[in-house]
Chain A
Amino acid sequence: MEETSDRLNPTTDTSGIAPEFDPKTMRSTKPGLKRLFITTSVLFSFLLGVPFLWKSVEIYRSPLPFHDIDSLSDQIESTPLQFPCNFHAVFVGFESKDPDKLRSQIQDGINQLTHQSSQCGSCNFSISVTVQNQADQCSETLAYNPSMCSYRCGVIKRNEFGVGLDDTVDESLNDVFSGCSENSGKTYSVVVVNKENANGEDEVIKAVVGKRRHAWVVGSGLEESYGDIVARVSEIFVKVFMNGGRDEESIHGEFMPVGSDGKIVLSFSLLNSNPRDWVYDWDFQRIDDALLAPVTKALAPIANISVESQVLYHTPKSSFSSWDEKLQSYIFRTSDLPFFVNSNEWHLDTSAGASGRSKILQFVVYIPSGKECPLLLQLPNGEISKTNGFISPMWGGVIVWNPENCDKDSESPSRNTISPQDLEQIVEIFLGQFRQLFGFKSEAIYTSGLGTYKILPSERGFTEWELDVLSRKHTCFNLHSCSTTLGSLSRLVRSLPRMIIKDEIGEQVKYSLKAAKLAQSNASLGGYSSSASSSREARSLAENAFFHPSIMSVSYFSYEHCFAVYSPFFLPVVAHIVFAALREWKGYRQEKAKYLTWLTRKKTA
């Protein structure tokens, strides 16, 4: 036991053997290992316990597919989503044109317009051309897609076409192309009719875009200026059918006033700025049933729209207006618009019906008080606005509606109801504003460098090709927003290593990625509605994961906390053990060295 006790009387045993034994530097017995063994075993058991402790203080983090999230956002960034579209051009009354040549020319024109760059939500197009000569004989390009509809030759008569109202022409074209299958994307067609120049006078070329997916160009002597015509046809395809006739720069494609749960609440408010002057009321129920229901029905694939209305009183605007002698009215300018909406007094935002993350679009009809009546909006160029209203993107629109008679006739306020005709006008302006919020133009004429196109307005507010554009943009917007949300979630999770992440979040992320993949594959197959719905689901799940209540709460168990709890025990104990082990090791080596020197001394002796 007492291994050093023999140092007491080392000379008694060894004096005879080794006379020069020095007790300071030598020892005759082997140093013992017991203490070293005890201290090292305690140290090792502590070291072995470290992983268990680590495991026990670990917080639960559901594994998130970081790699998939990154690859999704990379994919969306690098290869924008494209939908298959079929462009079909029919040239009627052209004598000697080779359809394949025309096709390649249209293809060149389209490429020139799109600058070869593929935007998200644009078309992955295929073109087919049919040429019908004056004797009603046809030649076609070889169809790439066997499912594509074919034009039955001779149905369009070159001299009878385009007579009558544009609406009826549109309907007749719909009959002509009714056999088209919609399996692989939508088919858009442009009919170019070269009329006989019967009168001898130079007829104006007329270009019309219909309510469905058809457009036509009618004129005489088109054969001679066919290069021009080809350019216009490709322009119709790209600017109108593909991009919806909107200026790319004006409203960014990411603006889409749809809530992440796919709902829009249209909240209409009639504001009587001073009911002491006059009180106006409306019969909105009728407007809702008659005029708004078709619009909401038409937009059903894109968003679930609900409509509500209220009348508010004592709601002055918060900007000033000035009296204009020439116009005999009060004027407010576009520079005043940021201050027009009075968020103190206009308590519009009382919609308990819009649960969760629906988008509320406010449409306000403002009736000026007697002190500022009539109130007109002056545009920067000095003209008076025809609609007398303005929009604020992602918020809604304001329409200023002036009563017919601005004179207060009596002391007591008059109670009136806005007449149905006036209400219809208001709804028309609203529809224009609503289209603008979605990025469309509200004019019926589209002008480009090559000429003007007449666009037939639909009574449903949006034409079919516009709805196609919206649907494409919406899918694209949803996927983009889904990928950015998931990206921020993954960045957040990676930046806070001690944050609890529940299984629900992991599942939501997984399903969101799945839905995004499905949307992408559906889009490439041309399923407009299916890809829109799955992209909506992907976005909604991503937002659910990001805004999960467990993330919002302060469930952050920090390293500092962990350290503060465990250090009072482990710091002193570990210090003891480590120093003891070190000392023992040192002592053992010293003693062993002593023993070795003794051994060598003995040997030499």
Chain B
Amino acid sequence: MASLVRSWIPLLILQSFLVAVAFGSKEAEQFSEALLLKPLPDRKVLAHFHFENRAPPSNSHGRHHHLFPKAISQLVQKFRVKEMELSFTQGRWNHEHWGGFDPLSSMNAKPVGVELWAVFDVPQSQVDTSWKNLTHALSGLFCASINFLESSTSYAAPTWGFGTNSDKLRYGSLPREAVCTENLTPWLKLLPCRDKDGISALMNRPSVYRGFYHSQRLHLSTVESGQEGLGSGIVLEQTLTVVLQPETTSVETNMQPSWSLSSLFGRKVVGSCVLAKSSNVYLQLEGRLGHESKNVDTEIEAHKLWKNADFDLSLKPDRVLRESSGLLFIFDIDKSSDSEPFDLGLNWKLPSKWSCQQAPLQASRFLMGSGNERGAIAILLKATESQEKLPGRELTDGRCTIKANIFQIFPWYIKVYYHTLQIFVDQQQKTDSEVLKKINVSPSTDKVSSGMLEMMLELPCEVKSAAISIEYDKGFLHIDEYPPDANQGFDIPSALISFPSHHASLDFQEELSKSPLLSSFKEKSLVRSYTEVLLVPLTTPDFSMPYNVITITCTIFALYFGSLLNVLRRRIGEEERFLKSQAGKKTGGVKQLLLRLTAKIRGRPIEAPSSESPAAESSFLSTKLIFKIILIAGAAAAWQYFSTDK
């Protein structure tokens, strides 16, 4: 019996191993698509496209793929990227009207231009090399000048101010990068259906780029398999957030505009991407918590939710979810087809008003001072209305406080004096020890690295406003370092304000289906907001200056040299004598001049008093002239020959 058991055990182990292998290989790459629509309080509509592509742990990453983009997988393999986010943004997120305290805004409100951060899985010494190679690869992949982030003056290594604590993190941003359709096309190439089918078919370029805000984001993270000898999995999340203005025909100004997908995008959805595991459209309505609704089980109650006195939807939602601040309608687009396209519309019947949840403090940043020599940067934090209602307050020493992290990169030519840092709370200057909890400064080195400031403020809860100012000197750049449009000024990248004790998440009362979009909303995300980009004018030189300097100095030298030589060489006494003898010979200067003038007018040569025959002189003159002409022609020919031949 014992021997029987013993002989069975290896077999069982083998079998379980085989099963594991079979399951491991069975787990396939998954793709899902979703679109979230959300009317905004200021009569605009937000559309948020969300695509997620998961590659299970495997050893063949970068080599064999079915749905997952090979290029991304090869990037991850080659540069050993652990986590990475790349965003292309045009326009600025309106924190006041579009929200600042929900997962959507905390994840998708990005600074203008390109922002890239990455965490690497390489030894500390190789992180910078990996970053540089990655920027080059990405700039090729996305048709953008991300490779400008390669130089050490344009990126920084945040320690704790960014929110992700890792010493292998690098962060850089290019505020001036113009984002357009040439960046969207390669981004779409990473989707299995591109924009041929499914939700992404809505991305009509003119309507997408006509919007007020446009942010295209790519986030990838690797998931450790936990198994020995098996590579890690990759999750690729691609989102596109646009804020559009629906065309309105209504005369009433306080009436929200009605819209449909076809009026917003000019296109309709004619079916899901066949490769997607799930493809849903969500409609989020804020500020209308299912009033007096205890149970929505009955059909009439459910019907009331999407066709009521306030508004009605053109399609019946498949499910309705409630969360703390509003309703979420879920539509499945699998059923739509060519003959019956999915065209969701929202029709408002009554004027309606609501407000978005805002971050505890609203941040803005501006420049102070004038002139081309020095200035100051100020960051102003203003309390919002919703501040009192928010959770996340902390009690330290019996006081209620709000924590705020500020992360700012300074280019090296903005020479910041960190000792001039001043903090005002409610217009009263505070000492550092009162409000500053933590600060980390890495000063810039000229032409080598950029400066970085990370600080954590602890403000009292009842604060109305807080301001931080810091002075700087403007540096001088070498003439080669100016960009082509130097007179436009130089950009200081956005500062990032994050609230470490505030986390945004949507919590739904019901248990969810496993939709990647909703589960990402359910996760707690750090509340952050980016400030404006500042434009600093620097002294720009006259770019033709070197040549002017060369010409002027050379002329002065030549003059000096010439006159010195003349002084050394000339016989002044002799010349004076010569002039005197001339004066004695001639019959007065004025008469001579008149004689010459009349002769010129008559066109006849002056009768030479000399004994030489005029013919001989003229022939002599002409030979001299011919000789000169030949000399000059010869010189020109030689110059031509030497300059063209080589």
Residues of A whose CB lies within 8 Å of any CB of B are: 2, 4-5, 8, 35, 38-39, 42, 275-276, 279, 281, 284-285, 288, 306-314, 347, 350-353, 411-413, 497, 559-560, 564-565, 568-569, 571-573, 576-577, 580, 584
Taken residue by residue from 43 to 76, chain B's Cβ proximity to chain A (1 for < 8 Å, 0 otherwise) reads as 0000000000000000010111111011100110
Residues of B whose CB lies within 8 Å of any CB of A are: 60, 62-67, 69-71, 74-75, 77-78, 137, 141, 189, 192-194, 196-197, 271, 274-275, 337, 547, 550-551, 553-555, 557-559, 561-562, 565-566, 568-569, 571, 573-574, 577, 643, 646
**Do B196 and A2 have beta carbons less than 8 Å apart?**
no
Q: If the complex has contacts A351-B74, A353-B62, are A568 and B565 also in contact, measured as CB distance less than 8 A?
A: no
**Do B64 and A568 have beta carbons less than 8 Å apart?**
no
Q: 19 other contacts beyond A310-B65, A351-B70, A576-B566, with CB at 8 A cut-off? A: A4-B571, A39-B568, A39-B569, A276-B271, A285-B64, A307-B63, A310-B70, A311-B65, A313-B275, A347-B189, A352-B71, A352-B137, A353-B62, A353-B78, A565-B550, A568-B555, A572-B558, A572-B559, A576-B558
Which of B64, B75, B555 contacts A309, CB < 8 Å? B64
Residues of A within 8 A of B274 (CB): 275-276, 279, 412-413
Residues of A within 8 A of B550 (CB): 565, 568
**Bound-complex Cα distance A249 to B247 (A):** 67
Q: Whole-angstrom distance from the CB of B29 to the nearest CB of chain A?
A: 9
Q: If the complex has contacts A285-B60, A311-B67, A352-B74, are A573 and B562 also in contact, measured as CB distance less than 8 A?
A: yes
Query: Smallest CB-CB separation from A577: which chain B residue?
Result: B565
Residues of B within 8 A of A573 (CB): 557-558, 561-562
Residues of B within 8 A of A584 (CB): 569
**Do A276 and B70 have beta carbons less than 8 Å apart?**
no
**Bound-complex Cα distance A245 to B108 (A):** 63
**Do B192 and A313 have beta carbons less than 8 Å apart?**
yes
Residues of B within 8 A of A497 (CB): 646
**Bound-complex Cα distance A154 to B290 (A):** 101
Q: If the complex has contacts A347-B189, A568-B555, A573-B557, are A281 and B196 also in contact, measured as CB distance less than 8 A?
A: no
**Do A314 and B193 have beta carbons less than 8 Å apart?**
yes
Residues of B within 8 A of A35 (CB): 568-569, 571
**Bound-complex Cα distance A276 to B334 (A):** 12
Residues of B within 8 A of A564 (CB): 547
Query: Smallest CB-CB separation from B338: which chain A residue?
Result: A276
Residues of A within 8 A of B193 (CB): 275, 313-314
**Bound-complex Cα distance A39 to B565 (A):** 8
- Majority DSSP secondary structure for residues of A touching B: mixed
Could you pull out 5 A-B pairs where Cβ atoms are within 8 angstroms?
A35-B571, A39-B569, A284-B64, A314-B194, A351-B71
**Bound-complex Cα distance A275 to B550 (A):** 68
Residues of A within 8 A of B643 (CB): 559-560
**Bound-complex Cα distance A497 to B194 (A):** 51
Residues of B within 8 A of A313 (CB): 192-193, 196, 275
**Do B558 and A288 have beta carbons less than 8 Å apart?**
no
**Bound-complex Cα distance A565 to B554 (A):** 9
**Do B561 and A350 have beta carbons less than 8 Å apart?**
no
**Bound-complex Cα distance A35 to B557 (A):** 22
Q: If the complex has contacts A4-B571, A42-B565, A276-B274, are A568 and B558 also in contact, measured as CB distance less than 8 A?
A: yes
**Do B64 and A288 have beta carbons less than 8 Å apart?**
yes
Residues of A within 8 A of B565 (CB): 39, 42, 576-577, 580
Residues of B within 8 A of A311 (CB): 65-67
- Majority DSSP secondary structure for residues of B touching A: helix
Q: Whole-angstrom distance from the CB of B44 to the nearest CB of chain A?
A: 32
Q: Whole-angstrom distance from the CB of A3 to the nearest CB of chain B?
A: 8
**Do A569 and B189 have beta carbons less than 8 Å apart?**
no
Residues of B within 8 A of A39 (CB): 565, 568-569
Q: Whole-angstrom distance from the CB of B183 to the nearest CB of chain A?
A: 15
**Bound-complex Cα distance A307 to B62 (A):** 10
**Bound-complex Cα distance A577 to B563 (A):** 11
Q: Whole-angstrom distance from the CB of A305 to the nearest CB of chain B?
A: 12
**Bound-complex Cα distance A288 to B59 (A):** 13
Q: Whole-angstrom distance from the CB of A312 to the nearest CB of chain B?
A: 8
Residues of A within 8 A of B555 (CB): 568, 572
Residues of A within 8 A of B192 (CB): 312-313
Which of A38, A352, A569 contacts B75, CB < 8 Å? A352
**Bound-complex Cα distance A309 to B64 (A):** 5
Residues of A within 8 A of B78 (CB): 352-353
**Bound-complex Cα distance A560 to B642 (A):** 12
**Bound-complex Cα distance A42 to B646 (A):** 32
Residues of A within 8 A of B71 (CB): 350-352
Q: If the complex has contacts A311-B65, A568-B550, A580-B565, are A279 and B75 also in contact, measured as CB distance less than 8 A?
A: no
**Bound-complex Cα distance A5 to B69 (A):** 99
Q: If the complex has contacts A276-B274, A568-B554, are A308 and B189 also in contact, measured as CB distance less than 8 A?
A: no
**Bound-complex Cα distance A350 to B574 (A):** 87
Q: If the complex has contacts A351-B71, A573-B561, A580-B565, are A276 and B197 also in contact, measured as CB distance less than 8 A?
A: yes
Query: Smallest CB-CB separation from A572: which chain B residue?
Result: B558
10 closest A-B pairs by CB: A568-B554, A569-B554, A572-B558, A350-B71, A314-B196, A352-B74, A576-B562, A353-B74, A310-B70, A308-B63
Which of A4, A288, A351, A576 contacts B561, CB < 8 Å? A576
**Do A350 and B70 have beta carbons less than 8 Å apart?**
yes
**Bound-complex Cα distance A560 to B192 (A):** 55
Q: Whole-angstrom distance from the CB of B337 to the nearest CB of chain A?
A: 8
Query: Smallest CB-CB separation from A571: which chain B residue?
Result: B558
**Do B64 and A2 have beta carbons less than 8 Å apart?**
no
**Bound-complex Cα distance A301 to B271 (A):** 51
**Bound-complex Cα distance A8 to B63 (A):** 104
Most buried by B among A285, A306, A577: A285
**Do B275 and A309 have beta carbons less than 8 Å apart?**
no
**Do A580 and B65 have beta carbons less than 8 Å apart?**
no
**Do B573 and A2 have beta carbons less than 8 Å apart?**
yes
Residues of A within 8 A of B573 (CB): 2, 4-5
Residues of B within 8 A of A559 (CB): 643, 646
**Bound-complex Cα distance A314 to B194 (A):** 8
Query: Smallest CB-CB separation from B557: which chain A residue?
Result: A569
Query: Smallest CB-CB separation from A316: which chain B residue?
Result: B196
**Bound-complex Cα distance A279 to B277 (A):** 14
Q: Whole-angstrom distance from the CB of B529 to the nearest CB of chain A?
A: 34
Q: Whole-angstrom distance from the CB of A361 to the nearest CB of chain B?
A: 15
Residues of B within 8 A of A275 (CB): 193, 197, 274-275
Residues of A within 8 A of B196 (CB): 313-314
Which of B63, B77, B189, B574 contacts A4, CB < 8 Å? B574
Residues of A within 8 A of B561 (CB): 573, 576
Which of B64, B275, B574 contacts A308, CB < 8 Å? B64
**Do A568 and B70 have beta carbons less than 8 Å apart?**
no
Q: Whole-angstrom distance from the CB of A80 to the nearest CB of chain B?
A: 36
**Bound-complex Cα distance A351 to B73 (A):** 10
Residues of A within 8 A of B569 (CB): 35, 38-39, 580, 584
Q: Whole-angstrom distance from the CB of A356 to the nearest CB of chain B?
A: 13
Query: Smallest CB-CB separation from B558: which chain A residue?
Result: A572
Q: Whole-angstrom distance from the CB of B21 to the nearest CB of chain A?
A: 12
**Bound-complex Cα distance A275 to B198 (A):** 12
Residues of A within 8 A of B77 (CB): 353
**Do B65 and A309 have beta carbons less than 8 Å apart?**
yes
Residues of A within 8 A of B562 (CB): 572-573, 576
**Bound-complex Cα distance A353 to B557 (A):** 60
Which of A4, A308, A569 contacts B62, CB < 8 Å? A308
Residues of B within 8 A of A288 (CB): 63-64
Residues of B within 8 A of A310 (CB): 64-66, 70
Residues of B within 8 A of A308 (CB): 62-64, 70
Residues of B within 8 A of A279 (CB): 274-275
Residues of A within 8 A of B551 (CB): 568
Query: Smallest CB-CB separation from B639: which chain A residue?
Result: A563
Most buried by A among B75, B274, B646: B274
**Bound-complex Cα distance A312 to B68 (A):** 10
**Do B66 and A281 have beta carbons less than 8 Å apart?**
yes
Residues of B within 8 A of A350 (CB): 69-71, 141, 189
Which of B65, B558, B577 contacts A569, CB < 8 Å? B558
